[in-house]
Amino acid sequence: MITIKLEASRKLLYLRIGEKRKRDRGGQWLFSSDYPDKYIFVEKLYKEFKRLPLDIRIDTTKLSQEKVYENILKKLEIYIGAPF
């Protein structure tokens, strides 16, 4: 199993959440029963998330979704030794 961590500053995460439509800020997502929206998730678990072990780290601060995806594929190719 390969762990890929996408990282951004807390401030940027709040900004990105704020740009989403209100209905996309919570509700039907993985942690919805414990954390009703993504603001609360970031507030309570940001520091814990930083401590998780990882194999590949991608800083998403200045990257578009497409660039993040490209970077992940490049790093996976290096990690497993086969092109995608």
Show pLDDT as tens, one digit a residue, over the chain (84 residues): 888 999 999 999 888 888 877 666 655 666 667 777 777 888 888 888 888 888 999 999 999 989 999 999 999 998 788 776
Helix (H) or strand (E) holding 46: helix 38-50
Place of tokens 């072990």: 53
Q: Residue 24 sits in which domain range?
A: 4-80
Q: What is the pTM of this model?
A: 0.68
Q: 29 near 54, Cβ under 8 Å? A: no
Q: Is 3 left (phi over 0), alpha (psi -120 to 50) or beta?
A: beta
DSSP label at residue 32: T
For the chain, the domain total comes to: 1
